[in-house]
């Protein structure tokens, strides 16, 4: 029998409105005081803001393809233009639904573009260009400022087939193996676990979202008690979670 | 600004090997001491054991359809026979993959049947027949024994399209709204949140899985700090998370 384990997730309060160029690593280090072995989960939205990934819909000129897809999906042609420009392929385009594979490799609605928690009716946020790089950069600054190297996860809310509602998943990470592979290891009865790969990074994103009110300015949470998941190196990043297209039965 | 929030997830240790007829509610009440406003997350496997949903593959007689699907998927015909008998439809059958809609309404691999953490090479566990009813029954016993009515979530590990690895999701719940609907509410900038329904029950299942080693006998975890999610009534159950087939683009 193992001893009882406990994890704790705390929200980090007091972050200012994030502008382009904001130093997220320093803000998180000072306000959240992450320690060695902890895991910092950062909402995609503030990463996009800091990285200047905010766009004004009125400044977007929809092309012919965007107007066509917008008509098929009943969506704003400017939003569709942005989504297509961020995408490598369209997975589904139906009334009310536009699911794409982003250039970064994520399958999600509207290329992950959304408009909540932005100060302006006309503004939308694109996903970070490379959220694994974003996570590594934040980790590096936290380490330089505190001497600790917590893991960093960048999280966004995605819908999913078959189930209603969104859950937070990881779109970037550093200092964490995003997938925990138990294949070949034995269960409590000494029987081999046939096929259990656990998406820890996604579960961390989901756990962090539980302490976050969607209407509040609490885009950072810190998970303590899972020191065993944190690695010295930055690791492969969340892109390791992407199911290769040729293995995917649902594209 | 909201005040900092913290959630805590603790594993419950010391549960005996669960046999058919075991009184899970009393075991959890005594060993986990759940309190008012807490959320008890129970692994599907011990619910299936307590409810006698264990089968012996050598006693299953595969029919013609099962043998055909087994050949197409390279799977054990006895396992496929059980999976088909638990299913209302086959979503995908490809080499190595059998995804079905269960009679209970879940879309998952092998009808959720698996063999890990069972004391016998030949044994497999089916999903509970109605895990919402299982959750209500456990909650009722905990309430009778302790005077407290924590929410109860029954969790299982499911794969998903587009992303590798499994995450724990809710297949049953009581005392919790499984979906938190923020549509129509305003964000921090007073801007309406367009489409944000959060699958809290699934995120709770994922958070609980993080304190569980897959090879250990720790199938129960308790979440504290989210009192606002716990309801007096049992609510609609996890079946409210099931995406109606006619709205689902991926079947």
Residue B29: is it exposed, middle or buried by C-beta count within 10 angstroms (0-12/13-18/19+)?
A: buried
Q: For residue B189, which of A220, A54, A217 has the smallest C-alpha distance?
A: A217
Q: What is the pLDDT of residues A135-149, one digit of tens each?
A: 999 999 999 999 999
- pLDDT score of A118: 80
Helix (H) or strand (E) holding B144: helix B131-146
CATH superfamily membership of B54-126: CofE-like domain (3.90.1660.10)
Q: For residue B57, which of B36, B30, B39, B79 has the smallest C-alpha distance?
A: B79
Which residues are CB-neighbours of B140 under 8 A, at least 6 positions away?
B25
Contact A164 B240 (CB under 8 A): yes
- pLDDT score of B214: 63
Return the minimum-mean-pLDDT range out of A199-203, B184-188, B216-220, B239-243.
B184-188
Rounded to whole angstroms, what are the CA distances from B56 to B99, B113, B157?
21, 12, 21
Strand partners, A223: A9, A39
Pairwise pLDDT comparison (B2 vs A165), residue with the higher score: A165
CATH architecture of A54-127: Alpha-Beta Complex (3.90)
Pairwise pLDDT comparison (A77 vs A181), residue with the higher score: A77
Banded pLDDT at B2 (limits 50, 70, 90): very low
Extents of the domains making up chain A:
7-52+128-242, 54-127
Return the minimum-mean-pLDDT range out of A212-226, B77-91, B133-147.
A212-226
- pLDDT score of A177: 94
Pairwise pLDDT comparison (A191 vs A184), residue with the higher score: A184
pTM to 2 decimals?
0.95
Distance from the Cα of A122 to chain B's closest Cα (Å) equals: 11
What is the chain B residue with the closest CA to A212?
A: B5
- pLDDT score of A147: 98
Assembly ipTM: 0.95
What is the chain A residue with the closest CA to B186?
A: A215
Q: CATH class for domain B1-52+128-241?
A: alpha beta
Residues of B in contact with A45 (CB under 8 A): none
Distance from the Cα of B75 to chain A's closest Cα (Å) equals: 13
What is the chain A residue with the closest CA to B2?
A: A216
Contact B161 A193 (CB under 8 A): no
Half-sphere exposure of B244 (CA within 13 A, CB side): 2
**Phi, psi dihedrals of residue A166, rounded to the nearest 5°:** -110, 155
pLDDT at A184 over 80: no
Residues of A in contact with B180 (CB under 8 A): 165
- Secondary structure class of B83 (helix, strand, coil): helix
Q: What is the pLDDT of residues B76-126, one digit of tens each?
A: 999 999 999 999 999 999 999 999 999 999 999 999 999 877 877 799 999
pLDDT at B217 over 80: no
Closest Cβ–Cβ partner in B119, B165, B207 for A241: B165
What is the spatial distance between Cα A195 and Cα A152, in angstroms, rounded to a whole number? 27
CATH architecture of A7-52+128-242: 2-Layer Sandwich (3.30)
Contact A187 B117 (CB under 8 A): yes
What is the spatial distance between Cα A135 and Cα A129, in angstroms, rounded to a whole number? 12
pLDDT at B48 over 90: yes
Per cent of chain A over pLDDT 90 is 84
What is the spatial distance between Cα B83 and Cα B96, in angstroms, rounded to a whole number? 14
What is the spatial distance between Cα B224 and Cα A231, in angstroms, rounded to a whole number? 28
What is the chain B residue with the closest CA to A108?
A: B162
Mean pLDDT of chain A: 93
Distance from the Cα of B63 to chain A's closest Cα (Å) equals: 25
Residues of B in contact with A172 (CB under 8 A): none
What is the spatial distance between Cα B12 and Cα B204, in angstroms, rounded to a whole number? 16
- pLDDT score of A214: 63
pLDDT at A110 over 60: yes
pLDDT at A187 over 70: no
Closest Cβ–Cβ partner in A12, A116, A206 for B196: A116
pLDDT at A40 over 60: yes
Contact A199 B164 (CB under 8 A): yes
Q: What average pLDDT does this structure show over B141-158? A: 98
What is the chain A residue with the closest CA to B213?
A: A2
Return the minimum-mean-pLDDT range out of A150-164, B28-42, B49-63, B106-120.
B106-120
Q: Is B179 left (phi over 0), alpha (psi -120 to 50) or beta?
A: beta
Closest Cβ–Cβ partner in B2, B13, B191 for A13: B2
Distance from the Cα of A9 to chain B's closest Cα (Å) equals: 5
């Amino acid at each position: 029998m193992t001893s009882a384990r406990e994890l704790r997730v705390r929200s980090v309060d007091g972050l200012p409105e994030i502008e382009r160029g904001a130093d997220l690593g320093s803000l998180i280090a000072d306000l959240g005081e992450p320690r060695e072995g902890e895991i910092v989960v950062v909402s995609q939205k503030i990463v996009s803001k800091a990285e200047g990934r905010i766009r004004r819909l009125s400044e977007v000129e929809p092309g012919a393809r965007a107007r066509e897809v917008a008509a098929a999906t009943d969506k704003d042609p400017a939003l569709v233009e942005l989504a297509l420009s961020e995408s490598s392929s369209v997975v589904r385009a139906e009334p009310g639904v536009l699911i794409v594979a982003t250039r970064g490799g994520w399958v999600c609605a509207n290329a992950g573009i959304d408009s909540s928690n932005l100060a302006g009716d006309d503004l939308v946020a694109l996903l970070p260009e490379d959220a694994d790089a974003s996570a590594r950069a934040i980790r590096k600054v936290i380490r330089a400022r505190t001497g600790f190297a917590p893991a960093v996860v960048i999280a966004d809310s995605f819908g999913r087939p078959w189930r209603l509602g969104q859950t937070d998943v990881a779109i970037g990470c550093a200092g964490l193996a995003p997938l925990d592979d138990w294949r070949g290891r034995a269960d409590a009865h000494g029987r081999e676990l046939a096929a259990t790969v656990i998406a820890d990074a996604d579960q961390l994103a989901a756990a962090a979202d539980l302490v976050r009110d969607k209407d509040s300015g609490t885009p950072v949470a810190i998970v303590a008690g899972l020191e065993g998941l944190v690695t010295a190196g930055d690791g492969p990043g969340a892109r390791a979670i992407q199911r290769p297209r040729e293995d995917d039965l649902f594209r």
